[in-house]
């Protein structure tokens, strides 16, 4: 269903004309909600520490999680003690609750566990990000900067820095608001943020002509596969050539994962699942006898039962963000301004 919608959102048809009235209603609701926060009828909570929101204006995966991991490490290396809050999509726990590497994805979601496994930062999730942030600060008073994974449209949480991630392949689709298009907010929203990060370089040049904030290109790099059953076992792409491969992806943009594998020279069968899909052994049964490749985000949902199915040969492709230009410098400069203001 998600793939079908993404394809529909790339163009225009009679279907879009029918949905335009709903998009107009959605637009009016977005404007009304912003207005209510602006005049104070809805309360915005400002934390005692700077808040950096990493979000997007489109539906679907754009690469926010790798950027959150990259930023948390960059801030730590610069002397800060960052904490992270997330909605915990895919989890059923209302929160706030701390996330550990061995937390259950069914409770806290897949992305928070991935972040916890890749960083040393405390991370809390909750439907109410303000509540999650307050719980995090109470448990970790040493935290001096907060990163919100997603939450660009969660206006209750005051923010000092906004970073929007744009998918370099999909861009903004047909540039229509939901449900006729993929946009949560209009493209002009980008002019009010502090930085735009584009996953891939396809749309960087055209964006420079349309928006004011600085634009940075982000590449997601990974060429080493890790065994799901033994993290000490690592293989290059060459190891998998000639094998019967199947690539599974339950992420917002599965095509990005499949294209990465193809660029590594691998030939495989592909199978996509809905974003945040909770994998079970039943999902893997039809691939018995084949080597399974998956993303880190999907792997955290399979760790719990992987050792019970030794007949499956499952490998994970970790990726890391490489940011073009000095995004770190820009953020540190803005954080310095926050400390002066506060």
What are the structural domains of the chain?
11-80+144-219+322-341 (3.40.50), 223-318 (3.40.50)
Give the DSSP per-residue string, 51-98. EEEEE-SBSS--SHHHHHHHHHHHHHHTT--EEEEE--TT----S-EE
pLDDT at position 169 is 83
Nearest in space to 247 (alpha carbons), one of 275, 282, 284: 284
pLDDT at position 114 is 96
What is the distance between the alpha carbons of residues 298 and 183, in angstroms, rounded to a whole number?
25
- Contact between residue 103 and residue 113 where contact means Cβ atoms under 8 Å apart: yes
pLDDT at position 36 is 97
Tokens of 129: 């990000």
- The pTM score is 0.94
pLDDT at position 288 is 84
> 247-267: string of b/e by CB count within 10 Å (b at 16+)?
bbbbbbbbbbbbebbeebebe
Tokens of 137: 């600060």
pLDDT at position 57 is 96
pLDDT means over runs of 10, the chain (342 residues): 72 88 96 95 96 95 93 97 94 90 93 95 96 98 97 95 92 92 94 93 62 90 94 96 96 92 97 93 89 96 82 93 90 87 50
* Eight-state DSSP code of residue 237: G
pLDDT at position 66 is 95
pLDDT at position 131 is 96
What is the distance between the alpha carbons of residues 95 and 135, in angstroms, rounded to a whole number?
9
pLDDT at position 13 is 87
- What is the sign of the dihedral through the CA atoms of 231, 237, 239 and 243? positive
**CA 34 centroid distance within chain:** 23
């Amino acid at each position: 269903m998600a793939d079908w919608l993404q394809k529909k959102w790339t163009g225009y048809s009679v279907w879009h004309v029918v949905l335009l009235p709903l998009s107009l209603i959605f637009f009016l609701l977005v404007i009304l909600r912003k207005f209510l926060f602006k005049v104070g009828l809805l309360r915005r909570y400002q934390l005692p520490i700077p808040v950096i929101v990493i979000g997007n204006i489109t539906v679907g995966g754009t690469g926010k999680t790798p950027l959150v991991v990259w930023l948390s490490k960059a801030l730590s290396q610069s002397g800060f003690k960052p904490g992270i809050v997330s909605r915990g999509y895919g989890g059923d726990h209302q929160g706030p609750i701390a996330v550990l590497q061995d937390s259950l994805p069914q409770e806290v979601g897949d992305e928070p566990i991935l972040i916890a496994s890749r960083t040393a930062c405390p991370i809390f999730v909750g439907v109410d990000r303000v509540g999650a942030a307050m719980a995090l600060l109470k448990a970790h008073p040493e935290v001096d900067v907060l990163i919100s994974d997603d939450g660009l449209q969660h206006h209750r949480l005051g923010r000092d820095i906004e970073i929007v991630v744009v998918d370099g392949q999909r861009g903004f689709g047909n540039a229509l608001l939901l449900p006729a298009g993929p946009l949560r907010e209009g493209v002009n929203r980008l002019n009010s943020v502090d930085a735009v990060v584009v996953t891939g370089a396809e749309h960087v040049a055209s964006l420079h002509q349309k928006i004011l904030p600085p634009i940075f290109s982000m590449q997601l790099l990974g060429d080493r596969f890790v065994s799901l059953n033994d993290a000490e076992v690592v293989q290059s792409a060459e190891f998998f050539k000639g094998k019967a491969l199947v690539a599974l992806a339950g992420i917002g943009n599965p095509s990005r994962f499949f294209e990465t594998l193809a660029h590594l020279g691998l030939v495989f069968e592909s199978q996509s699942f809905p974003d945040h899909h909770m994998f079970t052994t039943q999902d893997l049964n039809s691939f018995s006898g084949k080597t399974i490749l998956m993303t880190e985000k999907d792997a955290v949902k399979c760790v719990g039962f992987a050792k019970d199915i030794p007949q499956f040969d499952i490998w994970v492709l970790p990726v890391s963000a490489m940011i073009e230009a000095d995004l770190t410098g820009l953020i540190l400069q803005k954080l310095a301004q926050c400390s002066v203001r506060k």
